[in-house]
Structure 1
Amino acid sequence: MSKQGYHHGNLRQALVASALALIEEKGPTGFTLSEAAKRAGVTPAAVYRHFEGREDLIAECARQGYLIFGDLLDHAWNGGKPSALAAFSAVGRAYLAFARKYPGHYMAMFESGISPNRSPELAAVAARSNAAMERATQALMEHVPPEKRPPVAMVAAHVWAMSHGVVELYAREGNRAPFAPADLLESGIGVYLRGLGLIAPD
């Protein structure tokens, strides 16, 4: 890669782009800071003007990922239209779409071992994503009788875990799934919501 990013005063973002490409190729723990610098066309010493080390660089990849992720979840929710149930399903599909389109960001966020609480900035954008999922869940749970209503945070965590499991097991390149990942997630969420009485039995 040329030093174009550096010459235009955008070395920080050039390093993020390099790190994201390396994360996709080698995983979040499979590359060095020197490799990221080389790919960006600068010396390793130049990296330290912007990042304290490799984990700091990965954390910035995660922060930017959470920004995109939160936007996608908000867009999918669409204010709960045309219905809370349809919008909730769209949020689940948005999770898969994000993992497919932004694998480097996804791995930096969920597979790097970087805690969302590493910095206030990272914690804030991670919390926004959590809030988007919980907001969708809250609207859906309002259709469940109070005496049968599980905690919103628990339901959101279940759906998040289901989405993450489908990504890890079946949405990775080269992983063979018995069904399309989106269909697996849709049917899994369907089974869960039928158990809560939100979808009529087949």
Structure 2
Amino acid sequence: MSEIKDRPYHHGDLRRALIDTALAMLAVDQNWTFTLREVARRTGVSHAAPYKHFRDREMLLRELASIGFVRLGETMTEAMSPAMPSTRAQFVAAAQACIGFAYQNPGLYRLMFSSDADKTIDPQLHDAAMSTFGILLGLLEKGQRDGSFRPVAVSALAAASWAQVHGLAMLAISHQLLEEKVGSAPVPAALDMLLDGMCCTD
């Protein structure tokens, strides 16, 4: 375990304290192999205390993933400005924000898309993930309305966009976007290629 200072818990919101401790551990170690027992120790509570809020480790991990999707959605939304000159510019801003979020939070991002974040058994996690995905869908639908994007099934545009952006994010956090392989500005170049295929032509 990397250096993570114990976070003594004195009073207040125990659930929030446990989540904050687990997020800090995830940020430092970039993995989620920790146990509820370890989270409790670092929070400064008894080993039994986490079970008042999380019946098992997997429930805590799904909570962390849900928080991750909410934060990702906020990051993408903040990156877009109504003053941007086009839907394409907003798309690029949101995509770069997503990739940047992944790069800054590699452990959390990986958890969000791991088998430990099973969206089929957690309605809150499912809703958080779909809300964030809805930002992408909203941009694509807006682009079709204003003539920026091709009038094809929005699901096809979404699949192509998501595959590209998520793929770039995973390559970025794995430090695989090497200049000798993909040039000095691989993210803008890849997004331009994606958008050139999605955009309407005169």
Both proteins in one fold, TM over 0.5: yes
Match of 2:26 in 1: 23
Partners in 1 of 2:30 and 2:173 — Cα distance?
17
Instruction: String of CA shifts for 1:85-137, please: whole Å, max 9, x gaps.
Output: 10010010010121123334322311253122332222222121011111011
Partners in 2 of 1:34 and 1:187 — Cα distance?
46
Give the conservation status (yes or no) of the 8 Å contact 1:84–1:140. yes
CA gap of 1:182–1:77, structure 2 versus 1, over 3 A, is farther
User: Larger % of helix: which?
Assistant: 1
Task: Identify the match of residue 105 of structure 2 among 102, 107, 115.
Answer: 102
Task: Identify the match of residue 192 of structure 1 among 171, 177, 194.
Answer: 194
List alignment gaps of at least 5 residues for structure 1: none
Deviation at 1:192, TM superposition (A): 2.0
Partners in 1 of 2:126 and 2:152 — Cα distance?
26
CA gap of 1:81–1:117, structure 2 versus 1, over 3 A, is farther
Range that drifts further, 153-162 or 84-93? 153-162
Deviation at 1:82, TM superposition (A): 2.5
Partners in 1 of 2:183 and 2:55 — Cα distance?
38
The residue correspondences of 1:46-85 to structure 2 (distance < 5 A) are: 46-79=49-82, 81-85=84-88
The residue correspondences of 1:146-185 to structure 2 (distance < 5 A) are: 149-172=151-174, 175-179=175-179, 183-185=185-187
CA gap of 1:125–1:196, structure 2 versus 1, over 3 A, is closer
Partners in 2 of 1:79 and 1:93 — Cα distance?
17
List alignment gaps of at least 5 residues for structure 2: none
Give the count of matched residue pairs: 194
Partners in 1 of 2:83 and 2:161 — Cα distance?
17
Partners in 2 of 1:117 and 1:74 — Cα distance?
25
Partners in 2 of 1:86 and 1:169 — Cα distance?
23
CA gap of 1:44–1:176, structure 2 versus 1, over 3 A, is same
Give the conservation status (yes or no) of the 8 Å contact 2:99–2:172. no
Instruction: String of CA shifts for 1:32-52, please: whole Å, max 9, x gaps.
Output: 221222222222211101111
2:120 aligned counterpart, secondary structure: helix
1:155 aligned counterpart, secondary structure: helix
2:54 aligned counterpart, secondary structure: coil
Give the conservation status (yes or no) of the 8 Å contact 2:69–2:128. yes
Q: CA RMSD in A?
A: 2.7
Partners in 1 of 2:128 and 2:37 — Cα distance?
28
2:45 aligned counterpart, secondary structure: coil
Partners in 2 of 1:112 and 1:43 — Cα distance?
29
2:178 aligned counterpart, secondary structure: coil
